[in-house]
Chain A
Amino acid sequence: MTVLIETIGLTKHYQAGEGVVAALKDVSLSITPGNFVAAMGPSGSGKSTFLNLIGCLDSATHGSYRLMNEDVAALSHDRLADLRSRRLGFVFQSFNLLPRADALANVELPLIYRGMPRRQRRERAAEALAAVGLADRMHHRPTQLSGGQQQRVAIARAIVGSPDLILADEPTGALDTRTGLSIMALFQALNQGGVGILMVTHDPDVARYAERVLRFRDGRLIADETQIPANVAKALEALPEADDAA
């Protein structure tokens, strides 16, 4: 079986004042394509550092990281940017949409950096928005959308380049329970379509929907468990009362 991600002894040190902080210590693991992985742990446990390293936003102090069999440590800034644009999609807790651009333009953004012609770009962005259920909101600006809709736009932006892996940093952290669940439902649906997901969360209720959970503490990977993901649809039904759906 092919391996999407492989880390060996991945370690990250930060210079903090006089001392050196070891944010991540000796993490070795591999993730197969299409895996839905949740990284858990309290703040300062190293899970975000791990996400940044996997996302090619940061480089490791020691250890190796291979993405699709490519040694990331050896790559230039430009090649890392290319790798991010072709292989990865990012989803953030605070959505990070451009406030003055409409949903379509926000989703289009990654394709600009892949040199795609405008017309093709807009078609593809529209498809991505349709895939997250926002076909009728393409020309709304972020301020005209609810939190859940904004996160959907962000997810559309993450999948528009058909990445191998979506990196999600607390994707439900800014949303209420019901809306959070609908986002998890979307992730599960995307995952069933074949996209790998690495999601950082501190919330065990959210981690339930992944098929694998990594637990971090003090920079170390302390547990790596496979589980049967919980069914989001049932959880949604079980919610006491239906607020306005996102």
Chain B
Amino acid sequence: MDFTLKIWRQEHAKAKGGFKTYPLKDVSPEMSFLEMLDYLNMQLIEGGDVPVTFEHDCREGICGTCGLYINGRPHGPMRNTTTCELHMREFTDGETIVIEPWRASAFPVIKDLAVDRSSFERIMHAGGFISTNTGCAPEANSSPISKHISDKAFDAAACIGCGACVAACKNSSAMLFAAAKIAQYAMIPQGKVEGKERVDQMVQQMDAEGFGFCSNTYGCEFDCPKGISVDFIALMNREFFSAKVCSQKRQ
């Protein structure tokens, strides 16, 4: 297969970036999208050029490191698929493929296609945990949790923190990311104890990082490689309002 690649190149965070066009021949349909970029980079290096920087690690769709905006969609055309799981057989021979980094002010570009997602880390620091010390846990089966609830908590916990939800959103909202963690804990008894403080602090941090608001287009759910449901955003909002009402009462 042959392709024309239009790739965002940017030397560093403050440099002015732009698209560069690269023709690429003899791509195997069995190659993954990132193997196709490896193949391009090998040719660039051998030709004396600087390779395209893009981030990746596990290459099996679970670590959340990779994330490219491909032909106008986070992680490309396939639903429930990360960039590293995408294969060239999903494209048409001769096609032009446009590759960009995630675009959001809370995810500044580091170089080429790599962005800084440390804002996600800070949201997690604000409350993405259950405060229990090592050694003080009760026996694991001492409090049964219904399979239905536990499965739903798992569905929320499946988030890989890639940032596709932010890239998909016209407001660059991180609501789906934050909601997934908040909902996971809000549904299970262990997480309810500090649920109100958690939602309050994580939402505050999300706002402080410059992520936008949710305007219910559901683009995040559509492009989430793990199929995280927007229902969790509704759950987060419910938790948030209830936290606000309750904390006023406490005062």
Asked whether A and B interact, the reply is no
Which residues from chain A sit less than 8 Å from chain B, CB to CB? none
Which residues from chain B sit less than 8 Å from chain A, CB to CB? none
